[in-house]
Structure 1
Amino acid sequence: MQFTETLNDGLKRGYQITITAAELDAKVNEKLTEARGDIEMKGFRKGKVPMALLKKQYGPRVMGEAMQETVDGAMNEHFEKSGDRPALQPDVKMDENWKEGDDVVVNMSYEALPVVPDADLSGVKLEKLVVKAGEEEVTEALANLAKTAQNFEKRRKGSKAKDGDQIVIDFLGKVDDVAFDGGAAEDYPLVLGSNSFIPGFEDQLLGAKEGDELDVKVTFPAEYGAENLAGKDAVFACTVKAVNAPADAQIDDELAKKFGAEDLEGLKKNIAERLEAEYAGASRAIMKRGLLDQLDGVVSFELPPSLVDAEAKQIAHQLWHEENPDVQGHDHPTIETTDEHMKLAERRVRLGLLLAELGQKQEIQVTDAELTQAVMTQARQYPGQERQFFEFVQQNPQMRQQLQAPIFEDKVVDWVFEQSTVTEKEVTKEELEKAVEALDEE
């Protein structure tokens, strides 16, 4: 086998791989010999089929496998010896005029990842914004919790039900004057305006009073889950047993216990810790941007054009969809990249390669536990389909890489933080929010 360099221009590489007909024939014979013992053919005992007959019967298929394995082996050997790492999947083309008995000539081209020079991190200086959760913020959060733990208090007898009120009802639903499964309940608490019932049901209960008996007439949606009810007219005979007004829960020890705290002071402490964790997350995002801005000028090296072009297209596509939120799919005009897209792409690719190099040198790894946690977080976006999502990730290396990449980057960034000079600065919540808004504007 011959391996001849045909291109070496910057990061662009080209090679011609020649596999002689004799080498390929030997590989085919080797594979057929390995399989021979398990092959049965009419007129011959198992394992005793003549090689010439095996070649005639299985040769073409084995030839393709032998060719693929030989080319893959040659490529892997090349990358091990040269130390090259392709930026994207190498482009491999075989001579279209090849016929059995000829040497196999394959042309391989790719862009190599650049050698990233050592980065001097000694001059990196960062500012960490620190926000303490004050009494005002904790009180506001407590009030919001009280709203989520909303109670209902009975209205004065004769009061008409309003939007947001809770009415307690007995009901019996019928279609064509026949009751149906799941269409009846007693003492059912329904909040008007919650849209938890069939469209139009709750509206007809507005103005109802305790003791009222009324028929609610609705039409099941055409796409309703139960086929026997979809699109059908129904009548629900309702009896209103109570009309209750919404009331915020009392901010006391009982409220605290509802949210897993021993008492109100414990709940306040938990809220303060949660708020400060949120502030710390925002502060980290600001500090990370400051770090990336400084790293962007630490080293300079040639970038693979294919990576930059792919990143620029992705940026342009993402920004276009942000500007056109009504377009959900990809049925839209071709999106052209601009100089601004290319400039941002160059920054992202340069920083991505630098962080990858730093992580590799420090032997930073994403653990199985960290990846599993990321998969679980992502799976929550598909309620009822978590198992299928887990299986999809297990069978899809590209998806696993997409989940690992941000975890790896954050671990590298944390390591760089440790090597940098970090100064803490205490600020207000409003000052932190302005700093976060400034990030979005850049």
Structure 2
Amino acid sequence: MSLIVIASFLALAFLGMPLAFSLGVAALVGLWIAGFDVNVMAPRILNAVNSFPLMSIPLFMIAGELMLKGGIMERLIDFANAFIGRVRGGLAQVTIVSGAGLASVSGAAVADASALASTLVPSLKKQYGLGFSSGIVAAAANLGPIIPPSGAMIVYAFMAGSSVSVGGMFMSGVIPGILLFLTFMALCWFIAWKRDYPLAGQPITFSNIWLQTRRNLVVFLMPVIVIGGIVGGVFTPTEGAAAGVCYALFLGFFVTRRLKLADLPHVLLDAAKTSALVGAMIAFAATVTFLFTIDLLPMKLAGFMQGLTDNPFAFLCLIAVMLLLVGMFLESNAAYIMLVPLFHPVALQYGIDPLHFGFLFVLNLVIGMLTPPVGVVLFVICGVTGVKMGELVRESWPFIAAMYAVLLVCMLVPELVTWLPERLGY
């Protein structure tokens, strides 16, 4: 029964049907095969979406959109410029720094890709051409779901259940996020040196660094307040997201003064559309997960995996290969909702730390957002910049390889992921 449910969902998704619709049909097929009344769906759907932690997803989306509308992107670029200086690939590295700064307030790769592409590509392509410029933006945008706060980590924690906390997932991404950021910076310098791109940027001066730090300190207080409050137990992730919305409104209206009342309906509508899609998928996935449970699929899957290998690292490698293929064809939110309830319990049976496995799972699917044919970040950047998909993929592959290198290091050295959460009591 479980295999028929999965096949039904994948068939409809590949035919271009909306993912929530595909999950709903798959759930109905499973109920019919199992002989359950269709009315079983209603209470499970209601219980799945009647969740206080899930409210943090639309709130973080609203906060990110408000920051973008409020002109924070320009401030991040000025801040990055002050610290980079006149080096090879300077403007490319400014893009990576801006992407990391944007990630600390938005947590979504798609929104970051749109903001970075529309703001920075016109300047980037004058020095590097459209292809490399778009590839840099794609890499910078993919820092969004890794550096906290992260919408992807919230969805993972919700689907994994009580063994994983949102705060713990956030903290698991800090050290790998910094490592990934530094790797991208080094890669930009190397490519610029290899291709002999001209020097860019202004010389570093203490006065400019002080000016930009003082000017942007109020901006960088937002992730400190929101993430620090969540980790410190001052408020829940949902309350932290609500605090982020209030702070973003304050910045937009009173600090940058770029946010207008006329912008608010558009911001709320965009957040509502995305939230409704994610909520619908989670709702129907509750029925699908119920069918998997009564079919004993997690236990069968665990037995199958352990029959292949009893080595935890080998299991992680198998999951990485599977998620590489999944990420090429399936949108990431659908992958979390369908696969986390299956593989998270199996990972626990292998004795793998739940936060370690959760971070690796998220990073695998974040990489999938850059891999064709269904790399959603690639489609967003192509739509904004007009670059050809083939050229964008060709320029993005060094950054994809770098992300897989960081993934491998995190698999081999779990402490990179777990050390900080453990120090903070997760």
TM over 0.5: no
Higher strand share: 1
Higher helix share: 2
Q: Which has the higher contact order (CA 8 A, sep 6+)?
A: 2
Greater Rg, structure 1 or structure 2?
A: 1
TM norm structure 2? 0.26
